[in-house]
Structure 1
Amino acid sequence: MIKVTRFLCAAFVMHAGAAFADDTAPDKVMYEDFSVQASLTGKAGDPVEGAKVFKDRGLGNCLACHQNADMSGDLFHGTVGPAVDGVADRWEPAQLRAIVSDAKQVFGEETVMPGFYSLKVGKDVAKDKAGKTILSAQQVEDVVAYLATLKE
């Protein structure tokens, strides 16, 4: 499991970098009742862009762990996490935002899922990636908007 966690952290850490001026800073995100009610950017996400981030191996790389029937034409769906089919029927957007932002705030420290908008991305992070988030606030909002379209 340690090797998987290190691989995931190393594979996911991107150059999302510092938040834009109007974005909620990663350390200021308010997690309440396993939800993040407020948009991280103050604007709606774009589900089309969210789908791109979801499957992009250099960004979200969500397919590495989650199966997704909506992307059945894409290769290498993982089985580490649950399938995202029907996820919008199981979770509200505020809950999805909390999970994508920092799954550890929802599922606990044991989860393999990284915090995509957290500064706590794991051990052995490359020095040039330290202090940076995996995804930008807008990319998180885009992924949440995409996930909100996945209904049974």
Structure 2
Amino acid sequence: MRAACAALLLWAAPVLAQPAAFQVVGDTIPASLTGTPGDAARGRAIVTTRQRGLCLLCHSGPFPEEPFQGDLAPSLAGAGARLTKGQLRLRLVDGRRLNPATLMPAYYSTEGLVRVGRAWQGRTVLSAEEIEDVVAFLVTLQE
């Protein structure tokens, strides 16, 4: 399953050469990666677009217009009630810091990855701005 999820990430285009520095505190990255809040509407588009975030490959959520949602990972419904912005941010940046065996892709990491395609080497899946947009959206999911 992990290989299938990782292989499907190849559909999205890589973003940056190197991610910006961030500080992990406990189970969070408390500070915004960009210094500014994200845009929830753009974040929703990333979450639901199968060509960008691919979130619905593994997750389900309150997206009735999106068929074929995943069931490998927890539902995104209520994510903003269960987790803080900082907790969501760390899970998006690199969930391996919390669970080394996670299936969750490291959307904003270039370190410790294996079998990375040439186009992806040294690049992140999402930009800092896109991470902040997804965080801004996920915190709106309170039910």
Q: CA deviation at 1:121?
A: 7.1
1:17 has 2:9 as partner = no
Structure 1 regions of 5+ residues with no counterpart?
none
Q: 1:112 to 1:121 in 2, by over 3 A?
A: farther
TM-score, with length taken from structure 1: 0.86
Q: 2:70 aligns with which of 78, 81, 95?
A: 78
Structure 2 regions of 5+ residues with no counterpart?
none
1:151 has 2:134 as partner = no
The aligned amino acid for 2:127 is S
1:6 has 2:3 as partner = yes
C-alpha distance after superposition, 1:33-91 (max 9, x if no partner): 1100110011110000000111111211101111112x111111000100011111110
Number of residue pairs the alignment of both structures matches: 141
Q: Kindly report structure 1 stretches of 4+ aligned residues shifted beyond 4 Å.
A: none
1:101 has 2:98 as partner = no
Q: CA deviation at 1:104?
A: 1.1
Q: CA deviation at 1:6?
A: 2.2
Alpha carbons 1:35, 1:96 under 8 Å: kept: yes
Q: 1:121 to 1:115 in 2, by over 3 A?
A: farther
- The correspondence of residues 43-62 of structure 1 with structure 2, limited to 5 A, is 43-62=36-55
1:32 has 2:32 as partner = no
Alpha carbons 1:68, 1:84 under 8 Å: kept: yes
Cα distance in 1 for partners of 2:124, 2:85 equals: 20
Alpha carbons 2:5, 2:57 under 8 Å: kept: no
Q: Alpha carbon RMSD of aligned pairs, Å?
A: 1.5
TM-score, with length taken from structure 2: 0.91
Cα distance in 2 for partners of 1:62, 1:55 equals: 7
Deviates more, 1:116-125 or 1:92-101: 116-125
